[in-house]
Amino acid sequence: MAPGPPHSRLFGHIKVFGQVAASIPPNTHPQLLYTEIVHLYNLEEIFYLDLWPIGPDMVVITDPRLMGNSSLPKPLPIRPLTAVFMKPMLGEGTMAATNGALWRKIATAVSPAFSMGRVLGMTSIMVDECLLFQEKLDELAVTGDVF
């Protein structure tokens, strides 16, 4: 078996995934699940997760030096499952869940908003908002409340 957390022939890594999910606060960003699995099982560089039938199998790369060495197409195509998850939040046909011609059309339409001049012009506003967010996080850290 490839490197990774303990594997079940019947359930793959679903049990591990569930145990880790139960150990972190609810509504936490899913990326934290992978980070916690890495720490819990002392995984390094690259490992395999078998989440069938609840999700796709995946290879998780934790070493930035390995990320450019894959034989995957660039840019990576968006998986159809992404559209299923994104649709309730963003609607159908959003940039985050499309590929090909539709993605290029949307990217062309929004690219002026992300030009260097536009972003630099918004920097002070973003800094102010980040400072407000930091203050709120500091308050929550003192009280222990979850937001």
**Can you give the pLDDT of all 147 residues of the chain as single tens digits?**
457 899 998 899 999 989 999 999 988 888 899 999 999 999 988 999 998 888 888 888 888 888 877 777 777 788 888 888 888 888 888 888 888 899 899 999 999 999 999 999 999 999 999 999 999 999 999 998 877
Looking up tokens 């940039």 gives: 95
Q: What pLDDT is stored for residue 138 in this prediction?
A: 95
Give the burial string for 105-121 (b: 16+ CB within 10 Å, else e): eeeeeeeeeeeeeeeee
Q: What is the pLDDT of residue 81?
A: 82
Secondary structure percentages of the chain, helix, strand, coil, to 5: 55, 5, 40
C-alpha 12/C-alpha 61 separation (Å) is 19
Per domain, the residue ranges of the chain are: 1-68
Q: What is the pLDDT of residue 2?
A: 55
Closest to 76 (Cα-Cα) out of 49, 55, 58: 58
Dist CA 113 CA 121 (whole Å): 11
Q: What is the pTM of this model?
A: 0.58
What is the CA angle 50-3-85, rounded to 5? 30
Phi, psi of 63 (to 5 degrees): -105, 115
Question: For 143, how many CA atoms within 13 A lie in the half-sphere containing its CB?
Answer: 9
